[in-house]
Chains A and B, each alone.
Chain A
């Protein structure tokens, strides 16, 4: 046991993550995750209230909520919070900030970041198909439901492709990415003028794109994603960390991989409303990358990813509302600012360790 205990215990970092420092850190994380969870639950509550506003009990609560919004506008000098449609968009954003890093933590560390981007483009083809279906049949279903269906099919196709090529080889993925986007543009050109759907909103993200059905769908999808990740956390972690050993341990690796890409498609379709097709993958990747810089365990990566994701969304909304800019770009730029801050932060933490050592 020569290299084991004694020598190594000596150079274990006595920096901010041992003893009381680590306990404090854990408490801060739990508080952050708790606040984020409460905000997300509140947003789902709002979506339910908005849905049920004509029911007797809900209508009073809803009126109180509107009054609160007007009060916030008066306090901040804005003309935002009095509009339910803005709350609806913010609800979608907050939920994206929770679920995207949850799924992204596994994608990033499996080096599958490109998959999220690909599924976003597949979902764009889905939106195009949805527009075509809606305009040619007069069916008044949600575009996003069609996009979700196409996105999930795309996810299964990506999964098959990667299994066949025996690795997450990026050539078939790249073909699928641009191919589905190409199909989407063709369909949209074909159906041009048939509907008044704001296609730019789906490309670049727009708070005004969010419909009540879209927001409710996001609420439901979020519950599915959080539940799915919570139930399969251990297996996904094992497969992400050491896929071969997980196979030897008789985990159903193909099954969990499929689940992961399907959950990714679900997140992407929900997030597309406020982030846009082109930027949606950023929320899967950037908060997790930021968290990985400073996290001292995988669990912490998930917690910090969600917290950083939330900061990015709320900060991005503030920029978007304050300067009248598109929400997608604002959120992503904020996320990258958080990432850069964490790089700087981890750099100074590393210096602190080495000076201790």
Chain B
């Protein structure tokens, strides 16, 4: 087992506001890591630090065994941002065009090859939206959109899938189907980092959990997380009472 992501003492602040403090954690090949924490706890920032979208103020980040500054094999990562899936963008891009972008990290300037096109078609089939290849992404439902983005990651032959709250605004049934797909991919050996606010979903699916609220409260397998007090500590010892107004 080799480390896919290795964070060592990573700290990051937006101006004076520290978002992530002294976090060290390792994601091994084949892990399905759930990244949990309250709203504004620095989950997305931590993911951005792992992917090189932010530069750490202190500490070091390694991707696939290389310092993040030297990492240049973008095709190994499939990233689905919160923004990408939640925005209602009116840009007319078909599912096929979207998934084809997954090949761009490999294709350079040249035209796409037959193998590229085959990889795209296969990825679209794998996520179960073969009938929608020529539809516009903007016309898809939330769950279908997620699948299109996952297909883009698969088309790039990514070893690491990084998903930031992929099922926001997706109905319960589609969400279950989506997580079943992630399970399949995880069983196939792909490494997954998933940010998800629904802790029940994460503990059902992920085999490892990182729980953060600026600092890392827990990092280990899911059973030890469920038994620990990390959740209560990270979310505030008294817990949060949710009032439903009728």
Contact = CB atoms under 8 A, between A and B. Distances in A.
Interface stretch (B23-31, B34-42, B104-112, B236-244): B104-112
B142 to A, nearest CB: 10
B73 interface: yes
B84 A245 contact: yes
Interface string A197-215: 0000000000000000000
Interface stretch (B89-97, B194-202, B213-221, B226-234): B89-97
A242 B53 contact: no
A251 interface: yes
B65 interface: no
Interface stretch (A59-67, A229-237, A269-277): A229-237
Given A4-B129, A248-B52, A249-B74, A298 B93 contact: yes
A150 to B, nearest CB: 30
B97 A237 contact: yes
B169 interface: no
Main secondary structure of the interface of A (DSSP, over half): helix
A232 B156 CA distance: 19
A235 B105 CA distance: 9
B136 interface: yes
Nearest to B127: A4
Contacts of A356: none
Interface string A178-200: 00000000000000000000000
A2 B173 contact: yes
A83 interface: no
Interface stretch (A5-13, A50-58, A115-123): A5-13
B115 to A, nearest CB: 16
Contacts of B71: 250
Size category of the binding interface on chain B: 35 or more
Interface string A231-258: 1101101101110111111110000000
Residue of A1, A4, A13, A295 contacting most chain B CB atoms (<10 Å):
A4
A248 B101 CA distance: 12
Contact of A12 (B92, B131, B156): B131
A289 to B, nearest CB: 10
B143 A3 contact: yes
Contacts of B134: 17-18, 22, 296-297
Contact of A297 (B97, B104, B128, B143): B97
Contacts of B176: 2
A154 to B, nearest CB: 26
Interface string B65-97: 000000111110101110110000111111011
A248 B53 contact: yes
Contacts of A295: 92
A9 to B, nearest CB: 3
B236 to A, nearest CB: 30
A247 B104 CA distance: 12
A89 interface: no
A82 interface: no
Contacts of B89: 109, 241
B144 A248 contact: no
Interface in A284-314: 292, 295-301
B177 A298 contact: no
B94 to A, nearest CB: 4
B185 interface: no
Contacts of A9: 130-132
A237 B84 CA distance: 14
Contact of B144 (A3, A234, A240): A3
Contacts of A242: 81, 84, 101
Interface string A88-102: 000000000000000
Contacts of B181: 1
Contacts of B156: 249
B143 to A, nearest CB: 5
B174 interface: yes
B7 interface: no
B77 A248 contact: yes
Contact of B173 (A3, A232, A292): A3
A173 B154 CA distance: 38
A8 B147 CA distance: 13
A234 B107 contact: yes
B73 A237 contact: no
Contacts of B79: 244-245, 248-249
Nearest to A9: B131
A238 B131 contact: no
B165 to A, nearest CB: 14
Given A247-B53, A250-B73, A5 B130 contact: yes
Interface string B139-170: 00101100100001000100000100000000
B105 A250 contact: yes
- Ordered nearest first, which 3 A-B pairs have the shortest CB separation? A250-B74, A4-B128, A9-B131
26 contacts: A1-B177, A3-B144, A4-B129, A4-B147, A5-B128, A5-B130, A8-B144, A12-B135, A17-B134, A22-B134, A109-B89, A231-B109, A232-B109, A234-B101, A235-B104, A237-B93, A242-B84, A245-B79, A246-B101, A248-B79, A249-B75, A249-B77, A251-B104, A297-B97, A297-B134, A298-B93
